[in-house]
Amino acid sequence: MPFPLQRSSRFLVTGGCGAIGSRLIRRLLADGAERVVAVDDLSSGYEWLLPADPRIEFIQADVCGLLDQGPLLETPTVFHLAAFFANQNSVDYPLADLHTNARGTLTALLWAKANRARRLVYASAGCSIAGHGVDAPVREDMPVSLDLDTPYQITKALGEFYCNYFNREVSTVRCRFFNSYGPGEAPGYYRNVIPNFIWRALHDRPLVITGTGDETRDFIFVEDLVDGLARAADRPAAGGEAFNLGTGIETRIGDLAEWVIGACRSASGIEYAPRRKWDHSVHRRANVDKSREILGLEARTGVTEGIGRTIEWFLEHKEQIERLAAARAVAV
């Protein structure tokens, strides 16, 4: 490790206006951060998610421009969350995915090196390493598969290779996100299933399941995931390592839809559509032994509680979300 790992008071958060980035920034401020620079091109994030705090500096920019127009920070901690999200989007726009997820990650690492960053925490993906058809709990030590299903998975894996390469000069930690959800994520064609289910349920529209409903995923509430990121930044033993940020619990998508309908007191029904061509994983969950042992991470928010808190956020920000839906012709 090139520099002593001390608790930082200066932070750079790429993708800082996203659901995860904005919640992470709130956590850093609550923990006493002196300065937080949020970089976001606002392609899928929203500046209004940032809290009003003079310690925040917002830079609207493509992450690939960090070296030319990025801030100067002395030995900061970097959270690299900016991404071209997610699988279907990358299938439709693979060159844009390559630009943000590959070149953007390399640029963030070069910026971290130039600014003598104490650590860079990289947002990887639970689907980026093991490949398709793995029904067993996904472990960090599984070999990297060459049978990946989407450009997003490929570029997220590439980012991990770059992190390992730069770890000689910048302490890096690779956090593999499983299905994050919670306040801050608006609905949309390329967004996750939970905000889309909630938006449709609040409008009494059918909830569309791509598959049979028996598929399962590991859903982690955004504040639990943010806790994992903060721990990854501070634990000396985390340097150079990869960690699954999940719960270790599978949730059936059909049950998820029923819970959302009930919590929204909705008249929505459920419709089924063919599974997407690239989606070969029927079941996916994280093995969280390593993150529990080294990071001390325990996901404390159950899915039903998390859904309730997410619905509350939707209702509190109904006008903003409706404007976004109208502007982007959301028909999820």
Question: What pLDDT, on a 0 to 100 scale, did the predictor assign at position 243?
Answer: 98
pLDDT at 329: 56
Burial pattern 200-211, b for ≥16 Cβ within 10 A else e, equals bbbeebebebee
**What's phi and psi for 293, nearest 5 deg?**
-75, -45
Tokens of 39: 């970089």
Distance of alpha carbon 145 from alpha carbon 147, whole angstroms:
5
**What is the rounded distance in angstroms from the CA atom of residue 239 to the CA atom of residue 120?**
9
- pLDDT at res. 330: 53
Q: Give the DSSP H or E segment for 210.
A: strand 207-210
* Rounded distance between C-alpha atoms, residue 282 and residue 260, angstroms: 21
Helices (H) and strands (E) in the chain, counts: 12, 13
For the chain, give the longest Cα–Cα distance. Answer: 58
Q: Output the pLDDT for position 1.
A: 33
Can you tell me the distance from the alpha carbon of 79 to that of 159, in angstroms, rounded to the nearest whole number? Answer: 13
Report pLDDT for 202.
Answer: 97
Cβ–Cβ under 8 Å, residues 270 and 122: no
- Tell me the catalytic residues: 152
- Which residues of the chain, if any, have pLDDT below 70? 1-7, 131-133, 328-332
- Among candidate residues 304, 191, 193, 173, the one with its CA nearest the CA of residue 245: 173
Domains, in order of start, for the chain: 10-180+219-245 (3.40.50.720), 182-217+249-276+301-327 (3.90.25.10)
| Bond before 86 cis per omega within 30 degrees | yes
Helix (H) or strand (E) holding 197: helix 193-202
Q: What's the predicted TM-score (pTM) here?
A: 0.94
Which pair of tokens denotes residue 189? 């064609």
Summarize pLDDT for 140-198 with one digit per residue, the tens. 999 888 889 999 999 999 999 999 999 999 999 999 999 999 999 999 888 899 999 99
H-helix or E-strand spanning residue 40: strand 35-40
Q: In this structure, are residues 187 and 195 in contact, taking their beta carbons and an 8 Å threshold?
A: yes
- Residue-level pLDDT at 4: 37
DSSP H or E stretch at residue 245: strand 242-245
The residue type of 29 is L
Specify the 3-state DSSP secondary structure of 11.
strand
pLDDT at position 331? 52
